[in-house]
Structure 1
Amino acid sequence: MDASSGLQPAALPGTARRMATTAVLLGLVVSAFEATVVTSAMPTLTQELGGQHLYSWVFSSYLFASTLGILLFGKLADHLGRKPVFSAGMGLFLLGSALCGFAQSVPALIAFRVVQGLGAGALQPTTMTISADLYTLRERAAVQGLFTGAWGAATVVGPLIGGWLVMHASWRWAFLVNIPVGLIALALLHASYRDPARSSSRVDVWGPALTGVSLGLLLFALERGGSSTLRLSLALAACVGIATVVRQQRSSPSPLVPLALLRDRTVLCGVLGGVLGGALLYTTTALVPLWMTGREGHTPLLAGLALVPLLGGWACGSTFGVRVFLRGGLRASAGGGFALCLGGACLLALAVSWDWGTPAAFVSLGLMGLGLGPAASTSLLGPQTRVPWQQRGMVTSAVYATRMLGGSFTLAALELVPPGFPVRFAVIASLAGAAALSLALFAPGRVITEADAAS
């Protein structure tokens, strides 16, 4: 029985729930599409605007801003309601998309990606939280294929469309195509979804603000090119900020994530799976197109095609990941998924190092996707089953935030390792190994929902 089964449904079964589900799917599609459509366009984009040295920052700024949006808007979704947060997030996302489409320099694009990322940070957890409101745990297992299919279609088609747009139109359309879809999603949700009853309480904004500033300083400390003294000063300031965050959160009446939740092994392993899953996904999707166009000399379209096995495998893996989770817990779904991802990551590192060619890279990326799909999706689903409705937005946001943080910081940290694609893909394989080992050792082996634990 799901923790929210006793609540009034957010949309009654029938036309209203189908409309709300379609709105959520479209919100999921635009955020997933944007995360991948720019990957195949980015090498050409940064070359045309003259900012190739800022390549990683176009990704990191978006991921970091998404993290800030998740931390802030995820809590607001529990206090203000899902609908206003979804609407605000979609508005920011579409504004950022329009600004990115008209950017005239890479620094301006990075700034506009921050706006876009803040909106995506509100959209991504809120869409999944709304879906959890619409369906019980058993129903979610049945409709997971629909959500992962929509996500998978968007992510798989995204790189291909991005490559096609670069070759036949302009990279600017990689951002502008989001606008009509986002507007349709807003209209559908407003016509069909109603927020369940919620308790009114004060929202803590200092926690997200302090966390954002501290993590931002740490991210800048990882940036290559500054003086050692400046980077060390930024790192020390970040450490002081993080210590302040910990102290502030202990006394906050409305913390980002209550410490009691982090004592739950399922929640803690879900957060860990989010960090490592994000690190693996975003570093791979950023580096593969750069490797394909730079070292291999392929077109942007083929560079986008190279991500299809990874993202298609993710979608396929997610469909059976929920069933594995229900039978064997997070240890089987996430630990086993990361183990499969490890095999693919090792094969990819060997393919890049020994120049085995594109077919071997495609196979290895497919294996990585088949493993990442169940690992990442159930790292979110597991914590959701452990908390009541009033904390579901909070825990969903926490897992999404750690996924974005894992991606942004790993991308920044990769700039500090010795140059060369073989070394960087070997680091990705090492991360997959750490993920597989940690989840296999510490993740619980069976599913216990919040309602089961209370009974």
Structure 2
Amino acid sequence: MSENAQIQTGHRHWVLIACMLAMFMAAIEVTIVATAMPTIMSELGGFNLLGWVFSIYLLTQAVTVPLYGRLADMWGRRRVFFIGTSLFLIGSLMCGFAHNMWVLILFRAIQGLGAAAIVPISATIVADVYTPRERASVQGWLSSVWGVAAIVGPLSGAWLVQHFSWAVVFWVNLPIGLFSMLLLARYLPALPSSEPAKTLNIRGCIWLMITITLLLVALLQAEVLGWWLAGVALLAVFAGWILKRNEQRTPAPLFPPVIWQSRIQIAGNLGNVIIGAAMMGISAFLPTWIQGITGGSPLQAGSALAMMSLGWPLASTLSGRLMLITSYRFTAVTGAFLLTLGSALLLLLHIHSPVWQAGATAFVIGTGMGMTSTTFLVSVQNHAEYSVRGICTASIMFSRMIGSAVGTALMGAVLNFGLAQHLPHAQDPVQQIMSPERREQLSQTVLEQLTQGIATSLHGVFLLALLIALLTLWVGWMLPRQRPAGQGS
């Protein structure tokens, strides 16, 4: 291994800016669309399909992330980035012309297919043009994009729908994406594939998509499926078994053996599964606590979550410097400790806790996630050969998506179990206290009973989040006592 970057260019800063713009475009998409959805539904109708506007985007993204990572290694980063970004921009353009919710969902699926390439390939390109020592700091800059997007997205979405048509929320992606592509076309050399003889494992791709689709449907639609859940889960296991056999027999597996044979690669993937799962404890359920238990406003709930988005990029930047003077292991374990501490602080929330306490807790959790996720990413990229760096980067991002789906399912089940135990006769207790109109109609006695039962149930969710966060301490210890300097391929 050498200290040199694989792609030599005298304009690395323009390549970095292009990748940051592309990641910002993908990151802001979820929050900006969420803000605009009430306006969109008022024109298109189809409130019962609201969930699918977001689910289909995440589903098509998760299904194709590993595929893009493999293609980037085979065809070259620039070509695959252009393919994915073009799909994303076409989907964005057509979303603005949607005349009903079904059409909007279709074009959101196309958007997701493109977004699946943007994030992992951008991170891979940055790893290619910077040396291993520099990656530790530069990946922190990429992480900061997500924090900015989390804050700018809701504000810009509200402003755009107030002054323009809701279609502009989607069309704003076009100049950003096109400028990013122009920068990479001008400043990123198009290198030939390091393994031109290999062909894409089409059969593996098909079974991978089937497996992931069934798994995500089983996890995210568990309540809707009812007894059908067992059948979908069995089909997912069967498809996964066929995928495993195909991967073992094919000469060109989608996931190269290094992912399963390297301790660092395994730690990176396990760590991101855990981070994704733990993240749901705050992203999905802390707003419920603030609005339902403390009676806070949606703005207060959003502000608390923004503290997590602020802590993440700050810690990502700090972790880059910490890795250079300590080691991968020390930095990852430090981040894991902060994540565990923040998850423990969730259990200290009570009915009369102020909103600032929830925000401070979210900030600590965000710092832990930012530090651990950046360390896992840099360690994986620094120990991956150029020929497999694309799929290795995509695999840990895919792992985080799977972790988020698993975390949502597990914590949702814990919440429902707690509600059944503590409020067995209540009809939709969370909805009753989340809606200001229905909350005002409740007597003080009933409101206190519902609030106490839901608070106890949410503490069960936070306890599970803490147990999941504790696993990051073990995974962080799997990383070597080694600094980024002097590594790379």
Bin the TM-score by the shorter chain. Answer: 0.7 to 0.9
Q: Which residue of 2 aligns with 1:18?
A: 13
CA–CA separation in structure 2 for the residues paired with 1:291 and 1:172: 33
Q: Which residue of 2 aligns with 1:279?
A: 277
Structure-2 change in CA distance of 1:142 and 1:409 (3 Å): closer
Deviations 1:261-292 (A, max 9, x none): 32211111100111122233356434555666
Shift of 1:256: 2.2
**More moved, 165-174 vs 358-367:** 165-174
1:139 equivalent to 2:134? Answer yes
CA–CA separation in structure 2 for the residues paired with 1:178 and 1:215: 28
- Contact 1:342/1:429, CA 8 A, preserved across alignment: no
**More moved, 92-101 vs 426-435:** 426-435
Q: Which residue of 2 aligns with 1:433?
A: 467
Q: Which residue of 2 aligns with 1:390?
A: 387
Structure-2 change in CA distance of 1:415 and 1:43 (3 Å): farther
1:29-40 mapped onto 2 (5 Å cutoff) = 29-40=24-35
CA–CA separation in structure 2 for the residues paired with 1:335 and 1:47: 48
Shift of 1:237: 0.9
Q: Which residue of 2 aligns with 1:444?
A: 479
Shift of 1:92: 1.4
**More moved, 40-49 vs 120-129:** 40-49
Structure-2 change in CA distance of 1:287 and 1:204 (3 Å): same
Shift of 1:167: 6.3
CA–CA separation in structure 1 for the residues paired with 2:281 and 2:90: 26
Shift of 1:391: 0.8
Q: Which has the larger radius of gyration?
A: 2
Aligned mate of 1:306, from 297, 301, 304: 304
CA–CA separation in structure 2 for the residues paired with 1:409 and 1:137: 32
CA–CA separation in structure 2 for the residues paired with 1:195 and 1:2: 21
Unaligned runs of 5+ in 1: none
Deviations 1:156-185 (A, max 9, x none): 322333355566666654433222211111
Structure-2 change in CA distance of 1:227 and 1:157 (3 Å): closer
1:286-435 mapped onto 2 (5 Å cutoff) = 286-288=284-286, 301-348=299-346, 350-351=348-349, 353-417=350-414, 418=416, 420=430, 422=455, 423=457, 426-427=460-461, 429-435=463-469
Q: CA RMSD in A?
A: 3.3
1:75 equivalent to 2:109? Answer no
Unaligned runs of 5+ in 2: 420-429, 431-453
Shift of 1:199: 2.3
Percentage identity across paired residues of the two chains: 34
Q: What SS does structure 2 have at the residue aligned with 1:360?
A: helix
- Contact 2:381/2:389, CA 8 A, preserved across alignment: yes
CA–CA separation in structure 1 for the residues paired with 2:106 and 2:60: 10
Structure-2 change in CA distance of 1:19 and 1:130 (3 Å): same
Structure-2 change in CA distance of 1:329 and 1:123 (3 Å): same
Structure-2 change in CA distance of 1:435 and 1:344 (3 Å): closer
CA–CA separation in structure 2 for the residues paired with 1:296 and 1:404: 30
Amino acid at match of 1:310: M
Q: Which residue of 1 aligns with 2:144?
A: 149
Q: Which residue of 2 aligns with 1:112?
A: 107
Amino acid at match of 1:130: I
Shift of 1:22: 1.7
Shift of 1:27: 0.8
1:93-132 mapped onto 2 (5 Å cutoff) = 93-103=88-98, 107-132=102-127
Shift of 1:102: 4.5
Aligned length: 448
Aligned mate of 1:86, from 65, 78, 81: 81
Shift of 1:57: 4.5
Aligned mate of 1:184, from 179, 183, 186: 179
Structure-2 change in CA distance of 1:429 and 1:190 (3 Å): farther
Deviations 1:382-432 (A, max 9, x none): 111111111100100101111122223433454444065644574355234
Q: Which residue of 1 aligns with 2:243?
A: 245
The TM-score normalised by the length of structure 2 is 0.81
Q: Which residue of 2 aligns with 1:207?
A: 204
